Structures are given as structure tokens and as C-alpha cells.
Structure 1
């Protein structure tokens, strides 16, 4: 399933009153993994904004939760590219603790002009790099 794996530790700030990871924080974990995936490909998001005038934004998400993560757990966030279009990328991302899948998400990101937030094509060199990472 995996194109990229990023590990993280669960901290107090990630948990709710019940001592488990607050559900919305999985979206943060997924976001960080996508950022690190881009970085691993040599794509820096600030440079992309500054030089090409585009940014990636989340267009849609759907997350299923299977089991809780808890304080001090070490998680693997596994990321797979499902589809690459001229202005968007569709991912499946999963949070794992050992052999147990805790959450899985379908996330679609779009490329937009940083000034207008209107859809924009992914710059050709970035698109080629993303396609080669599949």
C-alpha cells in the first residue's frame, strides 16, 4: 500500500480528556506526512509558493477510525498516491501502531494560485516528480 512512511510519537497535546488521540489530530498527522513526503522528493512548499506562485490545499477528506492511539504510542503514517491529475492528487493514508491499523483516510489535495486560491495546474517539474514517486 505504501509509497511513503513517516513515524511520529503521540504527545499530551494530541490526546483528549479520555487519554486517546483526538480524532481531528489524525488529519494533522496525515498533513505532516504529506509534507514530509513532498520534502523527501525535494519539493519545499514555501519555495513552491514563492517561485511558482502555487500552494496545495486540502479539497476533501474522509477518515475511518478503527482503534485509538494513546499517549507515547509510536505511529507510522503510511501514504499512497492513488491518482495524479493535472491540478490534484488523491491519497490514501493510514495510521498504524505496530500491526494494527488505527485510522485510514482518503485525502484529495488541489493545486491553487496562492493569491486567488483558484485551481492551477501543478507545475510540470513537480508533476513529473510526483508521478515518478507512484
Structure 2
């Protein structure tokens, strides 16, 4: 997913504020569901972040066009693990590994097949 860096995404020096890389990745995850006419949360349940590890390599700046690449690393009954990269012109600026648990009423539940079919698009690393 392509994202342009706007003034609101940066600090006073025009560099992307560190927490915004997490937001860019969240937008990319949500966008896949929106493209399929769904949302990441429904009456079946919702995804929450269980764990993440992040590596900041190079800064992005005001006006940059970034690409968020998402790859499905592991599927479990009630969770998925993704590798997400924020790239600029093919160079990785930020990378994170994130485990998302699927909950309903605050408790882990099996991810419905209808949602597994959506997140399976990430197997190819979109």
C-alpha cells in the first residue's frame, strides 16, 4: 500500500515521527479488509496486537512516497504473525514482526474461515 508522508506525520525537522510507522502498518492491514468490503472487526470478533518487535533503519521525510509491504509469516487457530516493511524506492526504512490475536468479548477465539481467506492474501507478501 502506498502512503505519502504529510506534514502531520513529521516532527519539526520534517522527519517521520517514530510512532507513525506503526500507524502506516495499521492502515495497510486495515486497507486489505476494506478492499474486500469488510473491516478488521465485526460481530465475529476483532484483532488486537499481542506482541511486536520493530526495527527502525532509516528515516522517511516530508513528501516521501512509501510502500507498506505485508507478509503472512504464521497462521494459528486464534492468531496470525505478520512481517511488515515500510519501504522507499525499494529500500527498507522500517520493519516489524507483529502477532495479532483474534478475540471476541475479550477472549481468544478461532479466526473464522471468512477472515482467514482475506489474510491469506498476505502469504504472497503484498
Shift of 1:61: 1.1
TM-score of the pair, normalised by structure 1: 0.83
Pick the aligned partner of 1:97 from 88, 99, 107: 88
CA 1:104–1:127: 2 relative to 1, 3 Å: same
Structure 1 runs, 4 residues or longer, greater than 4 Å off: none
**Retained in 2: the 8 A contact 1:43–1:126?**
no
The alignment covers a number of residue pairs equal to 123
Where in structure 2 are the equivalents of 1:67-86 lying within 5 Å?
A: 67-86=58-77
Secondary structure of 1:18's match? coil
Partner of 1:35: 30
Aligned CA RMSD, in angstroms, stands at: 1.7
Correspondence 1:52-67 to 2 at 5 A: 52=44, 54-67=45-58
The TM-score with structure 2 as length reference comes to 0.88
Question: Does the C-alpha gap of structure 1 residues 15 and 132 become closer, same or farther in structure 2, counting only changes over 3 Å?
Answer: closer
CA shift, 1:14, in A, is 0.6
